[in-house]
Structure 1
Amino acid sequence: MIAKIIEGRSFGGCVGYVLKKDSEVIHSEGLRRDSAKTIVQDFNFQRMLNPRLGKAVGHIILSWNTADKNMLSNDIMVSSAKRYLSKMGIRDTQCLMVRHHDRQHDHIHIIYNRVNDYGKTISNSNQRYKSFKACKELNALYGFKQSEGKKNVNRGRLKGNDRTRYQIYDAVKAGIRNSRNWSELKSYIRYRGVELQFKYRSGTDEVQGISFSKNGQTFRGSAIDRSLSYVQIDRALNGIDNVMEQNHGMESDVSTDRSMATNMGETIGYLASALFSIPEIVPEQEDPCIKKRKKKENYRLRR
């Protein structure tokens, strides 16, 4: 099971999209299910408890692997969705769960009101981290197959920001495999229409993060995929540097031999210098107390 989180402003548009042909409402809370119109009215009525919140529409898509198809009933989907919402801190609010059957993999849409039953705003902080952790725990609890990442995503069905995000992901991943350093990576992905920008710590040259741009859209590296953060890419490039340097050394034995001979000569020279050089002798300074006592003794002898 994996989750995709979206926020919006219009309950009407979101409900209209979710309740399309062949959709199936499998659960709801705090809503009249007479029609799409009454559902939207109820969402908007509660929304007025906190009219200052612009993006009051919470929309989550839970998707399962095709290997889980035989074990997925409506009850299992609702049960896992409720646990997911609880782990995300989404509770005491209206929600609608709708199952779609238009794709190979089973998935449900959850619409919830970010204005809860008491007029308070449901926090959206650290959503991606909490969602990743929740999905991992629920996959283990229910025995769902863990996602294999982005390689099995059908790129042809993607649109808008999702399409751009995956184009960036594919370009950067290919660039990492074919680059030895940041400069080469930057040139490689630019050829494929992707620009790279570093984020620096205020007032310093220390790189704090990274983002990528394509088709006028900009995304943080970690927002595209956890493996595209600055730290992860830097580690991957360093690893490739080491492997390529080893391969280069195997292909150029003569150059390697010369380098080894030079290093050996420098080492021998250093050892010879250390063995045969005469160190500078610094005279030992006399203790001031002893010096003063000797001076008194000489004075008495002269008397």
Structure 2
Amino acid sequence: MMAKIVKGSDFKGVVDYILDKGKNAQVVAYDGLFMENKETIAMSFNAQSLMNGNVAKPVGHIALSFSKEDEPRLTNCVMGGIALEYMERMGIKDTQFFIARHFDKEHPHVHIAFNRIDNNGNTISDRHERLRSTRICKELTLIYGLHMANGKENVKRNRLKEPDKTKYELYDILKTEVGICGNWGVLVANLKRQGVEVHFSHRGQTDEIQGVVFTKNGYHFNGSKVDRRFSYSKIDAALQSNRCRERKGMMTNEYEVATPSTPSSIAQSEFFNGSLGLLNGSDSSCNAADVEANQEMAEILRRKKKRKRGMRL
């Protein structure tokens, strides 16, 4: 689920667009409006907007789009309920609105038209509305178990308009080049060959680089606006990682890791024979000592017997 937010000053224009017969529009919810026809709807909006003439763009228009994978379960009632909860979380309440579903595209989507001047003449705040909208869309996607898109790879490039078309072209180029380049010089040169200019922003009057801006087809994009991974610091870290990986690959090719050779059968034989020889020698020494000790003991006993015989005599 994702939302596209637009503000304007012409209620008739947004009503005509949303209720265009060519889009097979079906109204799924509304409040505070005379819904007899498109003219009465626009008249209702305009009448309430006069309660606060300080707002230059009182028209609120939000398109909520859903994944095609969720289409079987997205009835008009379900989509209307999700849209109403989205409005509540966005602070769009106590005001005129209508919600209509379109069938002119392959993915399910609804359009919300609302008056930014509420029923009491107060302005509905648009402060940080896109940040809040992104967070709320993610929350509702999880709450209702909707399909979670995998990211920019699934966006249909052929349906994009400028500057989004160029932004996604730049995203595809950066994704490839940042993954293979080992330094900024090579990256800048490769991007230039593909029509992308690179400019660095510095901190104050110093030489310290704090950001990068990419220019293509006359459009300028901060790196982090193309994608979070393309901020200056993250690109720099990726280039360093590529460089380290390349060096490791060169070292692996240049040097072979020497593995110790196993002792030969002869050496093993000599080793064991020597060991056994030492053990055998040790055993021989022990046996000789035992024999000598026995001989000494026998000699002592013989002498004792001899003395006893002498005493008897």
TM value normalised by structure 1: 0.72
CA gap of 1:147–1:13, structure 2 versus 1, over 3 A, is same
| Structure 2 residue aligned with 1:61 | 63
Structure 1 residue runs of 5 or longer lacking an equivalent are 255-303
| Structure 2 residue aligned with 1:15 | 15
CA gap of 1:132–1:178, structure 2 versus 1, over 3 A, is same
CA separation in 2, counterparts of 1:124 and 1:207?
Answer: 33
CA gap of 1:227–1:82, structure 2 versus 1, over 3 A, is farther
Q: Can you list the C-alpha shifts for 1:25-73, whole angstroms capped at 9, x where unaligned?
A: 2222222222222222222333333333233333222111121111111
CA separation in 1, counterparts of 2:12 and 2:251?
Answer: 64
CA separation in 1, counterparts of 2:124 and 2:209?
Answer: 33
CA gap of 1:243–1:143, structure 2 versus 1, over 3 A, is same
Match among 72, 75, 79 for residue 74 of structure 2: 72
Deviation at 1:124, TM superposition (A): 2.4
Q: Which amino acid aligns with 1:151?
A: E
What pairs up with 1:136-147 in 2 under 5 angstroms? 136-147=138-149
Q: Which has the larger radius of gyration?
A: 2
Classify the secondary structure of the residue corresponding to 1:102.
coil
Classify the secondary structure of the residue corresponding to 2:98.
strand
Is the deviation greater in 74-83 or in 213-222?
Answer: 213-222
Classify the secondary structure of the residue corresponding to 1:28.
strand
Deviation at 1:11, TM superposition (A): 2.9
What pairs up with 1:230-241 in 2 under 5 angstroms? 230-241=232-243
Deviation at 1:193, TM superposition (A): 2.7
| Structure 1 residue aligned with 2:31 | 29
CA separation in 2, counterparts of 1:86 and 1:66?
Answer: 25
**1:176 aligns to 2:200 (yes or no):** no
Deviation at 1:77, TM superposition (A): 0.8
CA separation in 1, counterparts of 2:93 and 2:2?
Answer: 20
**1:48 aligns to 2:50 (yes or no):** yes
CA gap of 1:147–1:246, structure 2 versus 1, over 3 A, is same
Deviation at 1:202, TM superposition (A): 4.4
Q: Can you list the C-alpha shifts for 1:129-183, whole angstroms capped at 9, x where unaligned?
A: 3222212211111110111112122211222333233222222222322323344
Match among 243, 264, 282 for residue 245 of structure 2: 243
Match among 80, 95, 98 for residue 97 of structure 2: 95
CA separation in 2, counterparts of 1:29 and 1:229?
Answer: 44
CA separation in 2, counterparts of 1:140 and 1:208?
Answer: 36
CA separation in 1, counterparts of 2:92 and 2:210?
Answer: 31
CA gap of 1:132–1:205, structure 2 versus 1, over 3 A, is farther
Contact (CA 8 Å) 1:99, 1:108: kept in 2 or not?
yes
| Structure 1 residue aligned with 2:3 | 3
CA separation in 1, counterparts of 2:210 and 2:9?
Answer: 32
CA gap of 1:191–1:135, structure 2 versus 1, over 3 A, is same
CA separation in 2, counterparts of 1:202 and 1:85?
Answer: 42
Q: Can you list the C-alpha shifts for 1:105-146, whole angstroms capped at 9, x where unaligned?
A: 111122223333333332223233322221221111111011
CA gap of 1:132–1:34, structure 2 versus 1, over 3 A, is same
Is the deviation greater in 210-219 or in 105-114?
Answer: 210-219
CA separation in 2, counterparts of 1:200 and 1:153?
Answer: 33
Question: Please, what is the CA RMSD of the aligned residues?
Answer: 2.9
CA separation in 1, counterparts of 2:143 and 2:227?
Answer: 24
| Structure 2 residue aligned with 1:215 | 217
Deviation at 1:205, TM superposition (A): 4.8
Q: How many residues in Structure 1 have an aligned counterpart in Structure 2?
A: 256
CA separation in 2, counterparts of 1:26 and 1:120?
Answer: 26
CA gap of 1:79–1:41, structure 2 versus 1, over 3 A, is same
**1:167 aligns to 2:166 (yes or no):** no
CA gap of 1:72–1:51, structure 2 versus 1, over 3 A, is same
Contact (CA 8 Å) 1:210, 1:229: kept in 2 or not?
yes
CA separation in 2, counterparts of 1:208 and 1:95?
Answer: 44
**1:186 aligns to 2:188 (yes or no):** yes
Contact (CA 8 Å) 1:96, 1:111: kept in 2 or not?
yes
Q: Which amino acid aligns with 1:53?
A: V
Is the deviation greater in 100-109 or in 126-135?
Answer: 126-135
Q: Which amino acid aligns with 2:5?
A: I
CA separation in 1, counterparts of 2:7 and 2:253?
Answer: 54
Q: Which amino acid aligns with 1:16?
A: D
| Structure 2 residue aligned with 1:276 | none
CA separation in 2, counterparts of 1:219 and 1:11?
Answer: 32
Q: Quick one: percent identity of the two aligned structures?
A: 40
| Structure 2 residue aligned with 1:133 | 135
Structure 2 residue runs of 5 or longer lacking an equivalent are 257-313
Match among 153, 156, 161 for residue 154 of structure 1: 156
